[in-house]
Structure formats: C-alpha cells, structure tokens
C-alpha cells in the first residue's frame, strides 16, 4: 500500500486550472461533467498543458502513477478502485494494463501525448479529449504568469510583482517551461552583481579543465552583453560605439554567437 500512499501525495492543486481561453474553458467543462459520471476517460495533449491537473480534478482522491513505472502501476491496479495513469502511451504493455483494469472494474482517468491512438485503450475509454497547447490558448498566458509570479513571491519572498518588459514567454513545454521561466526571471530581476557573479561562477566551475576554457566560456559574458545592447540601442552601429568596439569586431562576435542571438 506504500506505493499508493506515496503517489497520492503527489496530487497537484487542482483548483487552479486556468480557464481564460475558450479551449481551456471547454476542457474544464468536460472534466466537470466527467466528475459526475462513472466512465473512464483519456486526456491527451502536449507536456505542460494541464492534463494531470484536470485528471486530479475528476478523481481528487485517486493515486497518480506514471505508466512508464510499470511495476508500480501493476501493483496499484491490484489495490485500488480508481486511479490516474499518466503517460499511458509509455506503458511497455498496454494490453496487460487494459486487461487488468477490466478484470478489476477500475475507474480510470489517463493522460497521454496528443492524438494517442491504440486499439486496446479504445476498449476502456469511452471519452477522449485534447487540451490544446498554450500557443493556441494565448488568452491563458496573463493568468498563468500571475499565478506563477504569486508562487515565486511565496517561495522566494518579496512582492508578487514581475517585470514583463521584454519578456518573451517560453512555450516550448507549455506551462512547465513558462513556470520555470517566470521563476528564474522573478528571482533574477532584483539580483545584485555579486549574486549574479556567484551564479555564473557555480555554472562555470564544473565546465573548466582545458587550455581552451577562456575561449569556450567567454560567450557566457558576451552573449547577454550583446543581447542587452541590441535591445537597448536597436542597432549594431550604436552598440559598437557604446561598447568601444570596431563594427567588424562586433559583427564577428555576433557571428560567433549566432546560436544564442
């Protein structure tokens, strides 16, 4: 029973699923309906779109097991009446999972990657729906940034304020990458020079050990300097003047660091 207790403790706060956009609002309506029905459902979507939050809203007391941890999943399926299975598309043997669910008449809410299709899961999931990526739910961004900023203020202390000037949201992993980005930006927005130097030092230390260290690591200084300069002065000509560099030298630096600029 320890497995079930441990995964149940990992349940997320399900009351904060953002429903500003029409797409997220419709997903929440579907989840609300499923909460009242005794049917199994599959929630599909990219990482970080809120699949687990909605699954936990539907089954708030159910243990959460990642299907890639197959032994833990099989153990839990024999001991519970209801369960949330995340990443069911990663299960090594989906047929065995489905057979065990049927044998024990379990209530299941599962999550998977977008548009996952499998003949065995079709047997048990009478309801399937997708949660679109954040890039298709841009109305949710402001609410998510405010939510993550509040989390950051509670975690790090200080006011629940976040400077969004020049902030370009990282949606590569939807809310997961956005949350990480907000947390880092919140922490760094009032960072002191000595604190920033400590961060860079800790980052550089394990990378050192060759005669080419200076050449290989100088980009950590040059890239943010060039980025900030181009944002502030708007042109390479003005930036080269402010930095006291020949324009050709600046162009060379930009070309050398093109992967980061």
**245: CATH:** 1.10.10
Q: Which of 87, 113, 132 is the last residue of a domain?
A: 132
pLDDT band at 10 (very low <50, low <70, confident <90, very high): very low
Q: Of the given ranges (66-70, 98-102, 257-261), which has the lowest mean pLDDT? A: 257-261
CATH of residue 88: 3.40.50.300
Report how far residue 108's alpha carbon sits from residue 204's, in angstroms, rounded to the nearest whole number.
47
Residues 177 and 256 grouped into a single domain: no
Say which residue, 12 or 185, is predicted with more confidence.
Answer: 185
The whole-number average pLDDT for the span 50-56 is 95
Q: How far apart are CA 84 and CA 102, in angstroms?
A: 15
Residues 8 and 119 in one domain: yes
Q: Is the same domain home to 13 and 128?
A: yes
- Domain check: are 16 and 127 in the same one? yes
Whether 117 and 228 map to the same domain: the answer is no
* 108 bridge partner residues: 83
Q: Which of 146, 161, 190 is the last residue of a domain?
A: 190
Residues 120 and 67 in one domain: yes
pLDDT per position as a tens digit, 234-258: 999 999 999 999 999 999 999 999 9
Q: Are residues 212 and 239 in the same domain?
A: yes
- 44 and 122 in a single domain? The answer is yes
Same domain, 38 and 92: yes
Query: 260 pLDDT exceeds 80?
Result: yes
For residue 199, what are the CA distances in angstroms to 31, 68, 184, 205, 228?
Answer: 43, 35, 12, 10, 19
Low-confidence winner among 167-171, 175-179, 186-190, 245-249 (lowest mean pLDDT): 186-190
Does residue 15 surpass a pLDDT of 80?
A: no
Q: Which domain does 114 fall in, by range?
A: 2-132
Rg over CA atoms, the chain: 24
Pair (147, 204) in one structural domain: no
Last residue of a domain, one of 84, 115, 132: 132
Rounded Cα distance, 223 and 259, in Å: 10
Confidence of residue 161 (pLDDT cuts 50, 70, 90): confident
Average pLDDT value for the chain: 89
Is 66 found in the same domain as 10?
A: yes
Percent of the chain with pLDDT over 70: 92
Total domains, the chain? 3
Question: 168 and 60: one domain?
Answer: no
pLDDT by residue (tens digit) across 210-232? 999 999 999 999 999 999 999 89
């Amino acid at each position: 029973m320890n497995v079930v207790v441990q995964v149940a403790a990992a349940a997320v706060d399900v009351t904060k699923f953002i429903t500003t956009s029409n797409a997220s609002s419709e997903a929440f309506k579907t989840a609300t309906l499923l909460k009242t029905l005794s049917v199994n459902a599959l929630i599909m979507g990219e990482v970080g779109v809120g699949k687990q939050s909605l699954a936990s809203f539907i089954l708030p007391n159910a243990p959460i097991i990642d299907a890639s941890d197959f032994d833990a999943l099989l153990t839990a399926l024999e001991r519970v009446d209801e369960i949330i299975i995340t990443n069911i598309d990663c299960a090594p043997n989906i047929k065995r999972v489905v057979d065990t669910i049927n044998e024990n008449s379990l209530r299941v809410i599962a999550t998977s990657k977008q548009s996952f299709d499998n003949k065995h899961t079709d047997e048990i999931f009478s309801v399937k729906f997708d949660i679109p990526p954040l890039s298709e739910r841009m109305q949710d961004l402001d609410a998510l940034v405010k939510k993550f900023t509040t989390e950051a203020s509670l975690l790090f202390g200080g006011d629940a304020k976040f400077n969004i000037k020049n902030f370009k949201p990282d949606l590569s992993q939807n809310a997961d990458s956005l949350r990480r980005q907000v947390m880092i930006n919140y922490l760094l927005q009032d960072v002191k020079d000595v604190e920033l130097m400590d961060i860079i030092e800790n980052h550089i230390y394990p990378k050192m050990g060759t005669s080419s260290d200076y050449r290989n690591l100088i980009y950590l200084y040059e890239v943010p300097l060039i980025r900030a300069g181009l944002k502030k002065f708007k042109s390479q000509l003005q930036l080269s003047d402010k930095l006291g560099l020949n324009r050709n030298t600046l162009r060379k630096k930009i070309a050398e660091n093109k992967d980061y600029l």
